[in-house]
Chains A and B, each alone.
Chain A
Amino acid sequence: DTGVSQDPRHKITKRGQNVTFRCDPISEHNRLYWYRQTLGQGPEFLTYFQNEAQLEKSRLLSDRFSAERPKGSFSTLEIQRTEQGDSAMYLCASSRFKSGYPYEQYFGPGTRLTVT
Chain B
Amino acid sequence: GQNIDQPTEMTATEGAIVQINCTYQTSGFNGLFWYQQHAGEAPTFLSYNVLDGLEEKGRFSSFLSRSKGYSYLLLKELQMKDSASYLCAVREVGATNKLIFGTGTLLAVQP
B-binding residues in A (CB < 8 A): 4, 31, 33, 35, 40-45, 48, 50, 55-56, 91, 95, 97, 102, 104-110, 112
Does A110 lie within 8 Å of B42, measured CB to CB? yes
Nearest Cβ distance between residue A91 and chain B, in whole angstroms? 6
In the complex, residue of chain A having the shortest beta-carbon distance to the beta carbon of B48: A104
Give the docked Cα–Cα distance between A43 and B102 (Å): 8
Give the docked Cα–Cα distance between A42 and B35 (Å): 10
Nearest Cβ distance between residue B50 and chain A, in whole angstroms? 10
Residue of A33, A48, A105 with most partner-chain B CB within 10 A: A105
Give the docked Cα–Cα distance between A109 and B4 (Å): 24
Give the docked Cα–Cα distance between A54 and B30 (Å): 21
Q: Which of B91-111 contact A (CB under 8 A)?
A: 91, 95-104
Task: Kindly list chain B residues whose C-beta atoms are within 8 Å of the C-beta of A44.
Answer: 101
Known A-B contacts A48-B96, A102-B91; A43 and B45 likewise in contact (beta carbons under 8 Å): no
